[in-house]
């Protein structure tokens, strides 16, 4: 197999790659949330299931719509329907804003419910959502900013969708509930960027700047989160944020 694709083969290969990647991410979300949201009682993982409130159901529906829209957007492009892709993109930006609000509300509500794993405090656990929000907003915002530059736009939107991988993977029974399993889930979530790295190497012969930025920002956020989430400073900061809900 050649190191890079020919110009003639690139468009079809690109459509197949992004369509397959979107479906793969959706399957990870389905698997991770199958026992708690999508198939409760049918799929059962050997770990506590969080109590779902109306807010969390709305949260789950919004994030499901995002993944479905992400898949649809890849299919619109694959079918050559750019006009529909652009109209759906506007709806996606509105949905992204709603999701950010829901993330903030859900994080504060989680602190109030104390619905966290036994090895952390509610304020410590809130770091997963509070750290995820800026990344999601950053990648969605840049995706919109570069919507007329397809190679940038596609990668930014993939990076935004990849922010959902850690919550999904973290709910899979990777091992006994504990900090070790939590860190393993974070590492695996970070590694879900590898298909994009491999695609860059195959299609461009190098790693795209956006992909590299995504790997650095996401990996750096994981490291920073684990460095500060049990500190007094973070506890006070998270307490302030959660008090606004």
Residue 189, C-beta contacts closer than 8 angstroms, at least 6 positions apart: 162, 165, 166, 169, 170
Q: Is the pLDDT of residue 2 over 50?
A: no
pLDDT of residue 1: 40
pLDDT of residue 7: 56
Task: Read off the pLDDT of residues 72-96 as tens digits, 9 standing for 90 and up.
Answer: 999 999 888 999 999 999 999 999 9
DSSP 8-state symbol, 33: T
Task: Read off the pLDDT of residues 174-200 as tens digits, 9 standing for 90 and up.
Answer: 888 789 999 999 999 999 999 999 999
Residue 45, C-beta contacts closer than 8 angstroms, at least 6 positions apart: 35, 171, 172, 173
pLDDT of residue 193: 97
Task: Read off the pLDDT of residues 16-33 as tens digits, 9 standing for 90 and up.
Answer: 999 999 999 999 999 999
Helices 82-113 and 232-242: crossing angle, nearest 10°?
A: 110
Q: How far is it, in rounded angstroms, from Cα 47 to Cα 55?
A: 22
DSSP 8-state symbol, 36: I
Tell me the pLDDT band of 46, cut-offs 50, 70 and 90: confident
Count CB atoms within 10 A of the CB of residue 174: 14
124 burial via Cβ count (<10 Å: 0-12, 13-18, 19+): buried
Report the Cα 168 to chain-centroid distance in Å: 8
Q: How far is it, in rounded angstroms, from Cα 144 to Cα 230?
A: 34
Q: What is the pTM for the complete model shown? A: 0.93
Q: What is the mean pLDDT of residues 110-130?
A: 91
Q: In whole numbers, what is the pLDDT of the chain averaged over residues? A: 92
Residue with tokens 């795209």: 208
| Of residues 9 and 204, more confidently modeled | 204
* CA 21 to each of CA 43, 123, 138, 186, 207: distance values in angstroms, whole numbers, following the listed order: 24, 34, 21, 19, 17
Q: What is the mean pLDDT of residues 92-119?
A: 93
Q: How far is it, in rounded angstroms, from Cα 33 to Cα 39?
A: 8
Q: What is the mean pLDDT of residues 162-167?
A: 95
Tell me the pLDDT band of 48, cut-offs 50, 70 and 90: low
Q: How many CA atoms lie within 13 A of 235 on its CB side?
A: 6
Q: What percent of the chain is helix, strand and coil (3-state, nearest 5)? A: 75, 0, 25
Largest CA distance in the chain: 57
pLDDT of residue 192: 97
pLDDT of residue 6: 65
């Amino acid at each position: 197999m050649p190191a890079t694709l020919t110009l003639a083969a690139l468009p079809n290969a690109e459509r197949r790659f992004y369509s397959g990647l979107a479906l793969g991410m959706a399957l990870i979300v389905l698997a991770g949330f199958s026992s708690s949201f999508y198939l409760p009682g049918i799929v059962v993982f050997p770990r506590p299931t969080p109590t779902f409130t109306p807010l969390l159901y709305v949260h789950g529906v919004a994030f499901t719509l995002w993944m479905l829209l992400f898949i649809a957007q890849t299919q619109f492009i694959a079918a050559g329907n750019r006009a529909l892709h652009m109209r759906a993109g506007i709806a996606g930006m509105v949905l992204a804003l709603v999701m950010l609000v829901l993330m903030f509300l859900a994080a504060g509500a989680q602190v109030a419910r104390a619905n966290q794993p036994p090895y952390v405090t509610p304020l410590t656990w809130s770091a997963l959502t509070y750290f995820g929000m800026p990344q999601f907003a950053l990648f969605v915002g840049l995706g919109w900013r570069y919507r007329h530059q397809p190679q940038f736009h596609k990668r930014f939107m993939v990076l935004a969708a990849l922010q959902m991988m850690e919550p999904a993977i973290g709910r899979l029974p990777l091992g006994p509930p504990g900090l070790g399993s939590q860190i393993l889930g974070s590492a695996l979530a970070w590694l879900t960027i590898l298909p994009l790295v491999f695609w860059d190497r195959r299609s461009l012969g190098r790693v795209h700047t956006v992909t590299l930025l995504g790997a650095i920002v996401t990996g750096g956020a994981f490291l920073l989160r684990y460095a500060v989430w049990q500190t007094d400073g973070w506890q006070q900061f998270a307490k302030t944020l959660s008090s606004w809900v």
